[in-house]
A and B are shown apart, each in its own frame.
Chain A
Amino acid sequence: MSRFKKKKGSETPAMSTASLPDIVFMLLFFFMVTTVMRETTLIVKNKLPKASEVKKIEDKSLCSYIYVGAPVSGMKTKFGTEPRIQLNDSFKLASDIQEFVAAKREATAEEKKPLLVTCIKADVDAKMGLITDIKQELRKAQAFKINYATYSSAD
């Protein structure tokens, strides 16, 4: 009996948290490896379509991104609900694309200029009218290499 009584009196030992840092570091490394630094804040809805014949972008620094989609809920009162073009951090018109591409070209080293790609990240609900306008502007700006960003789905 006395034995049991003794046990009752003692406190439960504290759980060892020694391995907690290891677990957190593991999570940290996972996120560091799988994610990239955020460059622009999205102000358009951007649900990308799926495709199976995708290629990976080799060098992201050579990519200029054009986002297309309906403004996010906070912007709706000011910018409406129709899909629009986002360049860098603000809404722009198709006519601004040439300037945007030229700025990117200006900022790139001479030997890498032919490798520049324009990446179109358009929402599934966008209409081709707007995309066609973008493509026409890119042709005028002589930026012929384009990439339609899509999720890859195994066929």
Chain B
Amino acid sequence: MSRRTLPEINAGSMADIAFLLLIFFLVTTTMDVDTGLVRKLPAMPEEEDIIDDSQIKARNIYVVLVNAKDQLLVEEELMDISQLRDGAKAFLNNWGKNPDLSDSPQKAIISLQNDRGTSYEMYIQVQNELSAAYRELRDAEAQRKFGVYYAELEGALKKEVRKMYPEKISEAEPKKIGGN
């Protein structure tokens, strides 16, 4: 065996190779958004089974209208987006006390209708606020019963809380009134 020390490999070009790889990844990839609001669309209504609104008591429907100018009309009153979350929470968590608000969260339905001219940004904000209202109610319930947040609950317990506050956001069938 030779006792000679091996000549060191020149690592000077290592940086170049790494740069090459780095630039390749910079060009071919994107920082993609993989978060979003999850929703489920209803099936197309059959001619015969269009649900009759009149069968649901008016107090159990929370009507949210958004017009083409991104203004909110909630229960026939003009409202700012910042008040929507508390408004929805008060409506859902009424338990029959106030005769204008819902009987119980299970019976309560939030009806959302927007114009064709409503901006997408506004629509997402409204959806977000309504989701937030449900999430806060569920969190409060989960805290009260189990001492943890709703998102941290396991299967059956989560279901129990969800059953108590089912997310019922109904979007009206699109109507072709009003301009773009």
Q: Quick one: which of B112-146 are within 8 Å of A by CB?
A: 114-121, 123-125, 127-128, 131-132, 135
Measured between C-beta atoms, what is the minimum distance from A109 to chain B in Å?
A: 21
Residues of B close to A126: CB separation below 8 A? 119-120
- DSSP majority for the B interface? mixed
**Contact across chains for A147 and B117 when beta carbons are under 8 A apart:** no
Q: A129-B180, A140-B44 are in contact. Are A48 and B38 (CB under 8 A)?
A: no
Partner among A57, A117, A136, A148 whose Cβ is within 8 Å of the Cβ of B127: A148
Across chains A and B, the number of contacting residue pairs, with CB separation under 8 Å, is 152
**Contact across chains for B35 and A127 when beta carbons are under 8 A apart:** no
**A-side interface size class:** 35 or more
B69 within 8 A of A: no
**Contact across chains for B30 and A150 when beta carbons are under 8 A apart:** no
**Contact across chains for A35 and B31 when beta carbons are under 8 A apart:** yes
Selected A-B contacts with CB under 8 Å, 16 pairs: A36-B30, A51-B124, A53-B37, A53-B132, A54-B37, A57-B36, A60-B34, A119-B36, A123-B120, A128-B118, A136-B174, A144-B40, A146-B38, A148-B39, A150-B36, A151-B35
